[in-house]
Copies of this chain bind each other. A is one copy, B any other.
Amino acid sequence: MNLLSALEKAFSESPQNLEENPRVAYAGTRGSYGEEASLSFFKGTGELFPCKTFDDVFEALNQGTSDYGVLPIENSSTGSISTVYDLLSKYQYYIVGEEEVRVRHCLLAPKGANLQTIKEVYSHPQGFSQSQDFLNEYPQWQCIPYYNTAIGAAYVAQKNDPNLAAIASKRAGEIYDLLVLAEDINFSQTNVTRFVIISRELKFFKDPTRVSIAFHLPHRPGALYEIIGVFSVFSLNLCKIESRPLLNQNWEYLFFVDFTGNISQNTLANLIPIIQEKADYFQFLGYYPQYDQTKI
């Protein structure tokens, strides 16, 4: 089925309702920000399956063991999580929703530990970079990168050694019964991670507002300017643009663009063929309700 027919079908079936008890694969483990995003988006319903890697989340959908996947796509202080974009291109899956989670890192350690006993700290590399100002005060600590923040907390709890600490959420500390040695240690006090909810099928839930697309432009001056002009003509607001190097064609770029505005079936049916004509490659990533910023 071509894209315009797929869009027509998705519009005719919209709004879709969430299944009764969806199976949800998320990247992370119990106590991770990914689990928080899943609980929040699915409002506590559904069966949640933790996955070790982003690839495992896509594979859970591919093998039909999950209905939805939940993956971090952008952090307000460290930027886009490019692997997720690469996997969306590779599997040709769709974004059906988004969720934001406020990152509040804590330094967690087993009972009996204090700031003086700590020698090694476990976290995801982004956990370290987000807490760099705090960590700079303790140059003697060895920072050991780990799969994700919550797995680091689980490891520290299992070792039960007062020399070890983890950087993870307060909730991870509660789940793994760890002490909070320091709270809100991330340098940005408004550090938010945006998660996307992905599905094998193109479908629209109630009141979608944001479109995500990807495209590749021929390498000629003004090509990007023309494309951005198209969005302007349709009075759409670009809320994100990112060029990513194209595999096997060094320094040719794939563009990721998100836009909002007055988006009807008609808008998309008119807009998409114009971009497809100007682009060498076009991918429709999804049309979904934008996260309500007042909630955070």
Interface residues of A (CB under 8 A from B): 55, 74-80, 82-83, 85-86, 125, 129, 132, 136, 145-147, 188-190, 192, 221-222, 224-225, 228-229, 231-232, 235, 237-251, 253, 293, 296
Return chain B residues, CB-CB under 8 Å to A249. 190
Question: Can you give 17 contacting A-B residue pairs, CB < 8 Å?
Answer: A55-B132, A76-B247, A76-B251, A79-B80, A79-B245, A190-B250, A192-B250, A221-B235, A221-B237, A225-B231, A225-B232, A228-B228, A240-B243, A241-B241, A241-B242, A241-B243, A242-B242
Once the chains are docked, how many angstroms separate the CA of A189 from the CA of B253? 17
> How many chain copies?
2
Interface centre among A85, A228, A231, A293 (most CB of B within 10 A): A228
Interface centre among A75, A243, A247 (most CB of B within 10 A): A243
Once the chains are docked, how many angstroms separate the CA of A287 from the CA of B13? 53
Residue contact A129 to B240, C-beta cutoff 8 Å: no
Nearest B-chain residue to A233, judged by Cβ: B225
Once the chains are docked, how many angstroms separate the CA of A229 from the CA of B225? 6
Return chain B residues, CB-CB under 8 Å to A190. 247-250
Once the chains are docked, how many angstroms separate the CA of A78 from the CA of B147? 17
Return chain B residues, CB-CB under 8 Å to A235. 221
Residue contact A79 to B82, C-beta cutoff 8 Å: yes
Return chain B residues, CB-CB under 8 Å to A225. 225, 228-229, 231-232
Residue contact B239 to A251, C-beta cutoff 8 Å: yes
Return chain B residues, CB-CB under 8 Å to A231. 225
Nearest B-chain residue to A254, judged by Cβ: B79
Nearest B-chain residue to A257, judged by Cβ: B243
Nearest B-chain residue to A76, judged by Cβ: B245
Which residue of the partner chain, among B78, B189, B250, contacts A248 with CB atoms under 8 Å? B189
Once the chains are docked, how many angstroms separate the CA of A296 from the CA of B250? 11
Residue contact B145 to A245, C-beta cutoff 8 Å: no
Residue contact B250 to A76, C-beta cutoff 8 Å: yes
Return chain B residues, CB-CB under 8 Å to A76. 245-247, 250-251
Residue contact A77 to B245, C-beta cutoff 8 Å: yes
Return chain B residues, CB-CB under 8 Å to A136. 55
Return chain B residues, CB-CB under 8 Å to A237. 221
Return chain B residues, CB-CB under 8 Å to A129. 83
